[in-house]
Chain A
Amino acid sequence: MNIASGNADAGKVERTVNKIELKNITVRYGKHTVLNNFSLNVESGQILGIVGPSGCGKTTVVRAICGFLDPQEGTVSISGNTMFDRSKRINVPPENRNVGVVFQDYAVWPHLTVYENTAYPLRKHGVPKDKIPAQVEEALKLVNMSSYSKYLPSQLSGGQQQRVAIARALTSSSELLIMDEPITNLDAKLREQMLLEIRMMQEKLGTTIVYITHDQEAAMQLCDRIVIMQPDGSIAQIGTDEEIISKPANRFVFSFVGVSNFLPVKKSGDKLCLDYPNDQTCFSQKIPADFPKNSDKADMGIRPMDIVFDESSPVRVKINSATFFGNIYNYFIDLAGQEYRVQRITSGNEEDEKYVEGLETGIRFLSCKYFERG
């Protein structure tokens, strides 16, 4: 069913192949609706990240794809084949969906060796016995585990176990992998390395990967496209890392990806001013284009890095605390009685010493987004 995508023919109608199509999926647990009319396409040959706070239903999405859970409504198709359609009474069991799955807790079988773990899917898929060793060897090589084939999982570290789980998922299906928080249980250093390895493996094989995580940073580092899910189970935004950071679709995306400040602002003629009861300083001579059209008032969303100290600015603040984190200085400032967070990349020179606790100074806003007053 794989048809080469028409990306080469620029200008024509884009004909990307959808590896997974979820249409109008609804999942309820008792009275609680986890997913309501959820639709999502996963394009072939890319890493799609599904990111959201815990409890938003991202794991439910994967379980519906894998067949571990039957939605109340909707259809699931993989590589163009319908896997689930309640109205047509189609429900392919998990073992026939040809999806490789990597779980958060590794789920490598403790009673089988690395080799046996990796060979299991091949045996179940009826691969001829004489072809199994070569395929296992290849998969283990991809995850740098070929020298461990005789080990039992208990003799391996967490990172190594997860590599085995990936190799096993690859022998199960090298076309489509689902990874559900695969690196959450590993320590920070290993997480970085695993992300690099997953990317390298994906580029080598052209595998389609659905990567579930609550960690926006990992998703931005690894994924071609990112789906941000809201706590109610709906999709807030789908886009590249740059789109998510630079053009957040709504207030939720802005505040979910990183630390955010929201300052009340208002239009005052053609000036832009703060909107506190005790401070209405105007700080800009023109109204930005993305200011909400239907109101004079708005919330200005701004990242801590984008607030900079500037003695000459009319917006006056007091520094409540300054904390050194090595590469970053973190400040809490008082603006009109409210506390906000400001960050500076450490310069390593005397400028670092200038902004100390208790200092009264001015701030400027470098890059911000405007949202309807919420």
Chain B
Amino acid sequence: MNQQVTNKDFLMLEGKRKRGLSMDKIMTILCYVALITVVILPCVMIIYYTFWDGTKIDFEMFRSVLFQQDNLKAMKNTLIIAVFATLFATVVGVFFAWLLGRSDIPLKGIMKFLFSIPFMIPPFLAAMSWDMMFSGRGGYVNKMLMSLLHLTKAPFNINSIAGIIVIEVVYYFPFVYMQVVSALERMDPTLEESARIAGAGQLHVIRTITLPLTVPAISSGVLLVLITSLSNYGIPSMVGYSKGIFTLPTMIVELMNRAGGSFTGIRQAAALSIVLFIVVAIALMIQRRLLTHGRYDIIKGKSMRPMLIKLRGAKIPLLIVSFVFLTLVVIAPIVMIILVSFNKAWGLPFTAENLTFMHYVNVVTKNKMVTDSVKNSLFLAFSAGAICLLLGTMLAYVIYKVKPRGGALLEMMAVLPYSLPGTVMSIGCILAWSGAFFGISLYNTIWIILVAYIARYLSYVLKSSSAALQQVHPSLEEAARSCGASHYDALKDVTLLLIKPAMLSGFFLVFLPCMRELTTSILLYGPKTRTLGVAIYQLRTNGQINQAAALSVMTIILIIIMNNIVKYITRDRRKY
């Protein structure tokens, strides 16, 4: 009865082993190759150029760059801007988070919507608009105030360190707000209620319980703002360049432009990149240090609404202050860009006879540079999105499902560019792909921008795909196997379909920032490979400010449409 029946379905144990593993192995190797090429090589090249003068190891150049007067000044500017922008953005963000999360202020829905707007506008566009309003020479608001108050000098000058700080604060405070408000929403109301029962009044509870509990959320908001500010290129270059105010990222770009391809010039830019990287790394380390103190997660409670604090008499004044502030920082810049885009020429008053559609027509039909840039940006965003989608999902699969040895290393390599300033990454790309390897020179082609985009945004897809992948419990795949599906079938029928929405939203997470990218492309563009960001930037530098505004409006509309598509897709995902 129990004789061993051999069945034609039986697979040889060893045979199956080898075949099953080889598919996973190929993917693992592919991941390593891709990450080394895209991420590691550029980083290595920066170090190589900085410390290798062509014949020997050379620290002298790095030292001289570090202590050069202009560079020291740029460093100082970068730090001052970052510290103050972070400080004020945090205060404003926490205040609004508390106001919306814990008080009974009305019109919360509108305010929440307003907070989401800065996320959709690229920082350099915001800076451009602030420049239009408050530029020391001819900013519209400045002019208006001058004639209104009979001033002889412009009351505000956005082209200053303080100006940069202001723009960064209004642009970055929603980052802190988002983090803190979600922490407040997740916080178990009984944590605060038990403090009330213990005898503490409302204000005492805020000070001793609510605020300390949101410290982890505040810290991660601070970290985000600090690093973004340190590595931001768009804002300081838009408002600071004309007055000769440089930060590290703008200085690197400046050095690169001045070098004009000379070996020493490039080496100087590389050296300064290392300086910038070190500054960011130090910021990261300080934050990690601080974060280990907040070693707790906010405990999720029953879905019970927290007791809202009654503002009573302060309600209306606070509401007015909030709306004035939000109007000024969120709505005014957009209105300004729109007004300028419909105005006949820069500087003319906004009257009916100056109204024109000319700039839109010109931008769309007459300007070859602009039409090229739209094509380029679309091509780059689509390709980068698609490649990141495939590569990122494969990486996620390898790291979380195949779990090869060195999986942690893979993950580290993939998220490294996330904390690397875009300028640094771009310098690395130039150094690596201008003929340094196998004579491959991508310089001045669209491919070098593509490679840089992939390196910068790969981790976005990795994050969204791996989060989804980790939610696919192994038993879902095993259930398919026991239903008669092969390993490949189970992957195709279950796992891939389940993470499809996350992959799609990952695609847009790459597509959107690529569409509005400036930092990377400003360094890498060639005569025929301008991107949308570069085009706007150049229109403005060329003095075609109205056309720049028109193109900006179109870009913003495009981004808003795409953003809503992402929202639709991610909402769809909650169905599961």
Seen from chain A, the residues whose Cβ lies within 8 Å of a Cβ on chain B are 3, 18, 21, 66-68, 70, 77, 80-82, 85-86, 88-97, 99-101, 103-105, 107-111, 120-121, 124-125, 152, 154, 165, 168-169, 171-172, 178
Contact = CB atoms under 8 A, between A and B. Distances in A.
Given A95-B486, A120-B483, A90 B476 contact: no
A155 to B, nearest CB: 9
Chain A CB within 10 Å, residue with most, of B1, B14, B482, B487: B482
A82 B10 CA distance: 9
A86 B13 contact: yes
B576 interface: yes
Contact of A92 (B11, B480, B485, B498): B11
A93 B4 contact: no
Given A105-B475, A154-B576, A94 B4 contact: no
B7 A81 contact: yes
A125 to B, nearest CB: 5
B483 A93 contact: no
Chain A CB within 10 Å, residue with most, of B2, B3, B484: B484
Nearest to B1: A80
Interface string B453-476: 000000000000000000001011
Interface residues of B, number: 34
B305 interface: no
B5 interface: yes
A67 to B, nearest CB: 8
Contacts of A80: 1-3, 5
Contacts of A93: 11, 16, 481, 486-487
B483 A168 contact: yes
Contacts, number: 111
Nearest to B483: A121
B482 A66 contact: yes
Contacts of B480: 109, 120
Interface in B123-159: none
Nearest to A100: B482
Contacts of B70: none
Contacts of B483: 95, 100, 120-121, 124, 168, 171-172
Contact of B9 (A66, A96, A124): A96
Contacts of B494: 109
B489 interface: yes
A97 B10 CA distance: 10
Contacts of A110: 498, 575-576
B60 interface: no
Given A88-B4, A91-B16, A109-B476, A172 B9 contact: no
Nearest to A102: B479
Chain B CB within 10 Å, residue with most, of A80, A110, A165, A168: A110
A85 B4 contact: yes
Contacts of A77: 2
Contacts of B16: 91, 93
Contacts of A94: 478, 481-482
B406 to A, nearest CB: 19
B12 interface: yes
A89 B14 CA distance: 7
B58 interface: no
B497 interface: yes
Contacts of B4: 82, 85, 88, 90
B493 interface: yes
A168 B1 CA distance: 30
Interface string B559-576: 000000000000000011
Q: Which 6 A-B pairs have the closest CB atoms?
A: A124-B484, A121-B483, A94-B481, A110-B576, A107-B475, A101-B482
A324 to B, nearest CB: 29
Contacts of B6: 82, 90
B8 to A, nearest CB: 10
A200 B41 CA distance: 65
Contacts of A86: 13
A95 B479 contact: no
B481 A21 contact: no
Given A95-B484, A111-B497, 16 more contacts: A68-B478, A70-B13, A77-B2, A91-B12, A93-B16, A94-B478, A101-B482, A109-B494, A110-B575, A121-B483, A124-B485, A168-B479, A168-B483, A171-B483, A172-B483, A172-B484
A70 B21 CA distance: 15
Contacts of A97: 482
26 contacts: A3-B1, A66-B481, A68-B481, A80-B1, A81-B5, A89-B13, A89-B14, A92-B7, A92-B11, A93-B486, A94-B481, A94-B482, A95-B483, A95-B485, A96-B9, A99-B482, A109-B479, A109-B480, A110-B498, A111-B498, A124-B483, A124-B484, A124-B485, A125-B484, A154-B575, A171-B483
B479 A152 contact: no
A91 B11 contact: yes
A95 B13 CA distance: 15
Chain B CB within 10 Å, residue with most, of A68, A109, A152: A109
B502 to A, nearest CB: 12
A85 B424 CA distance: 57
Interface string B329-368: 0000000000000000000000000000000000000000
B130 to A, nearest CB: 46
A104 B5 CA distance: 33
A105 B481 contact: no
A349 B1 CA distance: 61
A166 B10 CA distance: 27
A99 B478 CA distance: 12
A110 B498 CA distance: 8
A110 B6 CA distance: 37
B475 A90 contact: no
A91 B13 contact: yes
A37 to B, nearest CB: 18
Contact of B2 (A21, A67, A90): A21
A339 B132 CA distance: 84
B13 A90 contact: yes
A107 B473 contact: yes
Interface in B153-205: none
Contacts of A169: 482
B249 to A, nearest CB: 44
Contacts of A168: 479, 483
A120 B497 CA distance: 14
A95 B1 contact: no
